[in-house]
């Protein structure tokens, strides 16, 4: 086919303006400054434990009190990726909300909401799921860890990190305070945000994980210090929960796995069990591990466990009582979650409309015009 000079010039012009748009778009991607927004979540699979508190929630409260724009979610859709008793799940949602309030989350300063009340999470999850591969998801360590605990792996467990990406991107969050176990999930979130931006234009910031320093970002199980403290661990003595009674705390500290060396020294490599107790002691008191060891010279590990138990009991008792107080007012908790859902929904709907439009799912005026033109052609 021979092209006239005019036609060739037209094609060239079109091409260069397309290139220019692409350059502008990538330039905008690099330089666009998103407003600072924090998002994080916690699963209501059980009671909040010290790992959740020191690894994440304490930071959530700090960020809230520093006046940052913060959104926190009770990630109930994540919790059903493994079987849950419906009655327990419902009361856990209330209890985690009550615990967050007792820990200092203020619904006037933070958006605190229940994930399943906002349908856009699952809609965006599906959209993002179409942008990644099964091979990539199969390599994520949290998936490998959790799938090893079940015979038949539910699809939800596989898609879990994509839902987490949807949670964060739906609110165009820039910062995500989490414990160390979530960092691989956050890498997937960044990957998905980049793929979406490249394909459909600049839509999402690339969120950063905010991880506490190493001692807190992975608090260990009391029964097996090679593992993290976890809500899903079968043995309840492996974790101290915010709502534990003083007797529970004493019992769990006494049963904490240590070693056969009697004195108190801080050596996370060689003595992980004792180091974990010292870390917890240090987190509650603000004392340095070295100071703690000095203060407890002469005690054997058995007696030191009683010291740690007393510190924990003293600090957790007011929190436990506050949780109980909130739990005695379920209407107030409902009201907090209703208000949170209303506020979260406004942001979620805006983002989802933008995503739908960019992906081509939204029928808008422009689409109608195209339709009219093609109808005319048909006739
Ligand atoms: P979840 O419910 O397991 O834990 C909530 C937070 O606590 C941190 N954490 C720990 N930190 C230190 N030491 C530990 N032993 C420890 N155990 C737990 C977790 O890293 C987390 O920050 N997938 C998330 C929930 C989620 C989410 C999100 C988080 C859903 N959507 C979006 C951030 C952004 C989870 O399972 O958290």
In a domain, 227, yes or no: no
Q: Are residues 243 and 183 in the same domain?
A: no
In a domain, 219, yes or no: no
Residue-number span of the structural domain to which 309 is assigned: 236-326
* Lookup result for tokens 């809500």: 231
**By the 8 A CB rule, do 37 and 87 touch?**
no
Q: Are residues 289 and 304 in the same domain?
A: yes
Residue 21 pLDDT more than 70? no
- Ligand 1 center to residue 230 CA distance, Å? 9
pLDDT of residue 213: 82
pLDDT tens digits, one per residue of 72-99 = 999 999 999 999 999 999 999 999 999 9
Q: Are residues 71 and 146 in the same domain?
A: yes
Closest C-alpha residue for ligand 1 atom 19: 179
Residue 189 pLDDT more than 60? yes
We report the CATH number of the domain holding residue 279 as 1.10.240.10
DSSP structure string for 15-34:
HHHHHHHHHHHHHHHHH--P
- Ligand 1 center to residue 64 CA distance, Å? 18
Q: Are residues 185 and 242 in the same domain?
A: no
Mean pLDDT lowest among 44-48, 161-165, 290-294, 366-370: 366-370
Alpha-carbon span 165 to 162, nearest angstrom: 5
At residue 32 the predicted structure's pLDDT band, cuts being 50, 70 and 90, is confident
Angle between helices 330-359 and 301-327 (to 10 degrees): 90
What φ, ψ does residue 151 adopt, rounded to 5°?
-75, -50
Determine whether the shortest distance from the Cβ of 218 to ligand 1 is under 6 A: yes
In a domain, 93, yes or no: yes
Determine whether the shortest distance from the Cβ of 161 to ligand 1 is under 6 A: no
What φ, ψ does residue 159 adopt, rounded to 5°?
-85, -10
Q: Are residues 87 and 164 in the same domain?
A: yes
At residue 214 the predicted structure's pLDDT band, cuts being 50, 70 and 90, is confident
| Dihedral of the alpha carbons of 313, 317, 318, 324, in degrees to the nearest 10 | 160
Q: Are residues 58 and 202 in the same domain?
A: yes
Residue 156 pLDDT more than 60? yes
In a domain, 375, yes or no: no
We report the CATH number of the domain holding residue 65 as 3.40.50.620
- Ligand 1 center to residue 71 CA distance, Å? 15
Reduced to 3 states (helix: H, G, I; strand: E, B; else coil), residue 46 is coil
Alpha-carbon span 97 to 88, nearest angstrom: 14
DSSP annotation of 57 reads: I
pLDDT of residue 3: 46
Q: Are residues 145 and 241 in the same domain?
A: no
Closest C-alpha residue for ligand 1 atom 33: 40
Q: Are residues 293 and 341 in the same domain?
A: no
Rounded to an integer, the average pLDDT of 237-260 is: 97
In a domain, 292, yes or no: yes
Does this model's pTM top 0.85?
yes
In a domain, 298, yes or no: yes
In a domain, 18, yes or no: no
Q: Are residues 83 and 160 in the same domain?
A: yes
pLDDT of residue 102: 98
Count the Cβ atoms, other than its own, within 10 Å of residue 329. Answer: 12
Determine whether the shortest distance from the Cβ of 51 to ligand 1 is under 6 A: yes
Q: Which residues of 213-223 are buried (b: 16+ CB within 10 A; e: fewer)?
A: eebbbbbbbbb
Q: Are residues 89 and 174 in the same domain?
A: yes
Alpha-carbon span 47 to 362, nearest angstrom: 41
Q: Where in the sequence numbering do the catalytic residues fall?
A: 146, 228, 231
- Ligand 1 center to residue 40 CA distance, Å? 8
**By the 8 A CB rule, do 292 and 239 touch?**
no
Determine whether the shortest distance from the Cβ of 40 to ligand 1 is under 6 A: yes
Closest C-alpha residue for ligand 1 atom 37: 42
Q: Mean pLDDT: which of 19-33, 71-85, 137-151, 352-366 is highest? A: 71-85
And the tokens for 32? 């666009």
Q: Are residues 285 and 155 in the same domain?
A: no
Determine whether the shortest distance from the Cβ of 115 to ligand 1 is under 6 A: no
At residue 353 the predicted structure's pLDDT band, cuts being 50, 70 and 90, is very high
- Ligand 1 center to residue 178 CA distance, Å? 6
Determine whether the shortest distance from the Cβ of 52 to ligand 1 is under 6 A: yes
In a domain, 4, yes or no: no
Q: Are residues 199 and 257 in the same domain?
A: no
Our count of domains for the chain comes to 2
Determine whether the shortest distance from the Cβ of 208 to ligand 1 is under 6 A: no
Closest C-alpha residue for ligand 1 atom 28: 41
Length of the chain: 379
pLDDT of residue 232: 86
């Amino acid at each position: 086919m021979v092209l006239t000079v005019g036609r060739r010039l037209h094609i060239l012009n079109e091409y260069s303006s397309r290139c220019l748009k692409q350059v502008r778009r990538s330039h905008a991607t690099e330089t666009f400054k998103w407003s600072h927004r924090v998002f994080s979540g916690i699963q209501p699979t059980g009671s909040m434990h010290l790992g959740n508190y020191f690894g994440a929630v304490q930071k959530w409260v700090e960020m809230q009190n520093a006046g940052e724009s913060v959104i926190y979610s009770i990630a109930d859709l994540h919790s059903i990726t493994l079987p849950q008793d419906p009655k327990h799940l419902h009361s856990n949602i209330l209890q985690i909300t009550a615990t967050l309030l007792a820990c200092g989350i203020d619904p006037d300063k933070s958006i605190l909401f229940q994930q399943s009340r906002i349908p856009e999470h699952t809609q965006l999850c599906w959209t993002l799921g179409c942008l990644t591969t099964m091979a990539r998801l199969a390599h994520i360590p949290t998936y490998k860890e959790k799938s090893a605990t079940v015979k038949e792996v539910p699809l939800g467990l596989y898609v879990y990190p994509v839902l987490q990406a949807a949670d964060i991107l739906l609110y165009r969050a820039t910062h995500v305070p989490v414990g160390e176990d979530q960092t691989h999930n956050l890498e997937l979130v960044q990957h998905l945000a980049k793929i979406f931006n490249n394909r459909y234009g600049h839509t999402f910031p690339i969120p950063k994980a905010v991880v506490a320093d190493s001692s807190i970002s992975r608090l260990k199980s009391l029964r097996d210090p090679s593992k993290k403290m976890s809500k899903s661990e079968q043995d309840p003595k492996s974790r101290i929960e915010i709502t534990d009674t003083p007797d529970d705390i004493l019992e769990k500290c006494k049963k904490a796995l240590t070693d056969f060396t009697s004195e108190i020294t801080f050596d996370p490599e060689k003595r992980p069990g004792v180091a974990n107790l010292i870390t917890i002691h240090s987190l509650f008191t603000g004392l340095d591990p070295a100071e703690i060891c000095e203060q407890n010279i002469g005690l054997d590990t058995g007696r030191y466990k009683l010291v740690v138990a007393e510190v924990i009991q003293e600090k957790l008792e007011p929190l436990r009582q506050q949780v109980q107080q909130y739990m005695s007012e379920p209407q107030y908790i409902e009201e907090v979650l209703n208000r949170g859902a209303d506020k979260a929904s406004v942001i979620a709907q805006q983002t989802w409309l933008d995503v739908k439009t960019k992906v081509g799912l939204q029928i808008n005026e422009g689409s109608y015009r195209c339709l009219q033109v093609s109808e005319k052609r048909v006739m």
